[in-house]
Structure 1
């Protein structure tokens, strides 16, 4: 059967430039790169200095994007196949909404500003694609993926290829350069600033996964790709490696280079040279806190991650793997706050049984099933602060944490589910509740009603009810419990907590 294909384009506005990727996508999730282009723009220097995009940078962006529009028209790419994203600089810009609207009016491009955690997800997909199975240590031991950009540093910690934590840190080459300028450009002051910042960051990361146990150090940034071209060796067409000692020696050699030195001695374009040395020093300082013997350099960016998303669509196997990574990240967050893992995971399993058996009644999607599992996994995380009112403490912790693969809107829904898994029900005066959109409030109530029932079934945190089967009657849901104990405590719990379920779904819940 002959393959059908389509041309797609990805545009990215970053802190240091605007870049494009054009590819031909075939059936079965295959693709072929056709063209790449880029134009340097000092957008990040504007934003991280004044807090917004300047008029001059806006006009420069419009000119560049008009040129990209002509390029894409030459390729004959339809508007629906042009995907536009923006990263840390626009995330931080106070006038980003005005900027995005002006760009749309002038060029027709619709840019989406991606969150740091979404940037992590796209980079993770790109890194996996680039490494394939050619870096087996990644799947056997602890790993760290790091990408230093102009405005932020994205960090992922993995154990045997499974996500432990993901963070977007406000540490980028432009910000580092600004700190250096404030200290009159002193190399020593820059190094001191970096050492202090990375020491503090490493202490936080060590609470999630001991960095000295990291065996695979993956660097996904443009600066590392330049170093790989100079001193690395090829693993496959999309991945290179650099020996640890060689990388450290290189970093020590260039740390005193000026921008002009970098251009002249390394033959790096000026636009890339401005943030090159600070980026390499960040990688070196993190590398030295690990036990990795090689630096793995995938020749990819988040543009390739987005291309994988577009080409493969909803691949069930990839989707399930992604969901498992989200849950692993949530479990690790719970462990950071010393939660009752047996109880929380048991309640999550009961939630999933109810979800699966009542699919017709609630009509939620597979992704929403994952969100419910996250909420159940973390529903008692607030106990770390105080038992009394722990649902409110849990709401705060989750709403202000990063869980790999979840957007802020999803975190807000999950945080509200945790807030109302016990105690009072939502009211029109609850600010966090009414801040949700109408469909989000309905979704939150469905999840909360299921979680309240599941939590009641383990009221004593003893897992007496090992599992349940669900029987649907005309006016009631009968839960048949498997276990060898007196379930009086669980029945009392249901009496207290199953009212919301009856209000949302119209069924009384009875424990047999």
Structure 2
């Protein structure tokens, strides 16, 4: 049973900020983000010690939710498809019931308070849809205002779901008494964090955790500041980007001695996180130390996205591809979703991908690229023509732009760059140092782009007629030549003609002549 496109709004009522994400789910395009909005309400202001929500903060929160609902309505979200979850500050407040009642009376919105463990589980759903969970054990952590969620996961599934009351607003209110923070307060925070993370640290040690994935505004602010220190001012998504322990330490040493006025001048730091970043930095430092990590990966999906995925899974179980999480491949799924959004010619693209992979495998002893590049070649092949969505003229350049800006999930920034460059060079001029973006790639990535684009050019030529004529390629290698024996359905005159035009770049790279023959 098929379902129509569905629009959903998910609202996360956090301790520091209220967020809303609006998405549309469709069978082929998957989940497409329509809009997102954030308002730093600081509903937890003062409530961490008093256990009472501040009246002014409640009024601001209700006003923000009214605006959120108007926006959702304008985007065509039905009221029954607006979901709202409240976390730490509201969860713990004695007058949370009063706030939830007032929201219902004034806006019609029904808020569900979720437990810390539920929050951790939703965060896991969100993160795993943005960052590919590895083959080894991973630590996921989300730094909120009131709590921090820890998730441990490996190939067998979830191993730990834990929520600890060590959020940055809570820690700031409790331990930060001076500007800049005093060394005594730093030590107190370090000791407190250590005590609260004991269970997660011990379990992570047993599982031999090798990587951490961080979500939340605090983690993204840290990543942005590190980028700024390295001279990058990129406004692109941080998803799947990383920062090392060494890079973090440089930021930590630079920021911690500063007062609030000086921190406000730091590029990449949200103005409303000027105070909260201090306990945030100390927490991340302790996570690096206690979990013995060398780098942290950033996820730009967390609670809100997890809420949406959980909602859609349960609402659309009948006939939806998302009814099972067991075979989730976010990289492939993301590539296909982007391709469908661009109105791709699926049969052609998939056939070019099949031919590219045959060539990659048969030429392995000549190109010496490892298996990870095979996957990137397949995705570049699937997406090589999506630029035609903008215009046929220069569509290879348009394909590159769309891939770079299409927010593919599960790929590191460098992997996305390689896919985009390989698609860029599937026709017209081959890679050259005169092209600024190519010239900035690491040398190993340039070599990969050279070889993969050479393979894709040849495969694209062999599918020139868009008729899936070439079914199989057998390869014979001699001292000076590569002979491609083509098994075809029809006479392959047009395919051989096109491939002959596109083969020179690969011939140059492999230092052999390529001869094409029909079987």
Q: TM-score with structure 1 length normalisation? A: 0.57
SS in 1 for 2:203: coil
Which of the residues 132, 135, 139 maps onto 1:139?
135
Unaligned residue ranges in structure 2 (runs of 5+): 329-519
Alpha-carbon distance in structure 2 between the residues aligned to 1:123 and 1:161: 18
- Supply the distance in 2 between the matched residues of 1:51 and 1:72 (Cα, whole angstroms): 31
How many Å separate the matches in 1 of 2:220 and 2:33?
18
Q: Does 1:109 align with 2:109?
A: yes
Among 142, 153, 156, which residue is 2:151 paired with?
156
Aligned to 2:284: 283
Name the SS of the counterpart of 2:243 in structure 1.
strand
**5 Å matches for 1:232-271?**
238-271=239-272
Deviations along 1:139-180, whole A, 9 cap, x unmatched? 22x321111111011112234463222211111111211223
Name the counterpart of 2:324: 317
User: Judging changes above 3 Å, is the alpha-carbon distance between structure 1 residues 317 and 4 closer, same or farther for their aligned structure 2 residues?
Assistant: closer
Q: Deviations over 1:92-148 (max 9, x none)?
A: 11111111011000011111111111111111111111112xx6xx322x3211111
Residues in 1 aligned to 2:58 and 2:6: alpha-carbon distance in whole angstroms: 31
For 2:60 and 2:282, how far apart are their aligned partners in 1? 30
- 8 Å Cα contact 1:15-1:88 kept in structure 2: yes
CA distance in 2, matches of 1:202, 1:19: 27
Q: Is the alpha carbon distance of 1:2 and 1:211 closer, same or farther for their aligned partners in structure 2, counting shifts above 3 Å? A: closer
1:29–1:84 Cα change, 3 Å = farther
Measured after TM superposition, the shift of residue 88 of structure 1 is 0.7
For residues 61 and 105 of structure 1, the distance between their equivalents in structure 2, rounded to whole angstroms, comes to 14
Deviations 1:385-409 (A, max 9, x none): xxxxxxxxxxxxxxxxxxxxxxxxx
Q: 1:95 to 1:320 in 2, by over 3 A?
A: farther
Residues 101-500 of structure 1 aligned to structure 2 (within 5 Å): 101-132=101-132, 138-140=134-136, 142-160=137-155, 162-182=157-177, 186-210=181-205, 213-231=208-226, 238-313=239-314, 314=317, 315-318=322-325
The Cα of 1:203 is off from its aligned counterpart by: 3.3
Structure 1 23/114 Cα, relative in aligned 2: closer, same or farther at 3 Å?
Answer: same
The alignment's C-alpha RMSD in Å is: 2.8
Query: Greater shift after overlay, 156-165 or 188-197?
Result: 156-165
Deviations 1:4-37 (CA, angstroms, capped at 9, x unpaired): 3122111111111211111111126811101111
Quote the Cα distance in structure 2 between the aligned partners of 1:261 and 1:181.
Answer: 17
**How does 1:93-108 map onto structure 2 within 5 Å?**
93-108=93-108
List aligned pairs for 1:29-108, cutoff 5 A: 30-108=30-108
- Taking structure 2 as the reference length, the TM-score comes to 0.56
Q: CA deviation at 1:91?
A: 0.6
More helix by share: 1
Q: Provide the aligned length of Structure 1 versus Structure 2.
A: 316
Alpha-carbon distance between aligned partners in 1 of 2:63 and 2:261, rounded to the nearest angstrom = 27
SS at match of 1:158: strand
Contact 1:183-1:189 within 8 A present in 2 as well:
no
Report if aligned partners of 1:251, 1:280 keep a CA contact under 8 Å in 2.
Answer: yes
How much has 1:282 moved relative to structure 2? 0.3
Whole-Å Cα distance in 2 between the matches of residues 204 and 317 of structure 1?
30
How many Å apart are 1:296 and its aligned residue? 0.7
1:40 Cα deviation after fit: 1.1
With over 3 angstroms needed to count, the CA separation of the structure-2 counterparts of 1:161 and 1:182, relative to structure 1, is: farther
> Contact conserved, 2:180 with 2:259, CA < 8 A, in 1?
no
Counterpart-to-counterpart distance in 1, 2:7 and 2:324:
25
Equivalents in 1 of 2:261, 2:145: separation in Å? 19
Q: Residues 117 and 205 from structure 1, CA distance in 2 versus in 1: closer, same or farther, beyond 3 angstroms?
A: same
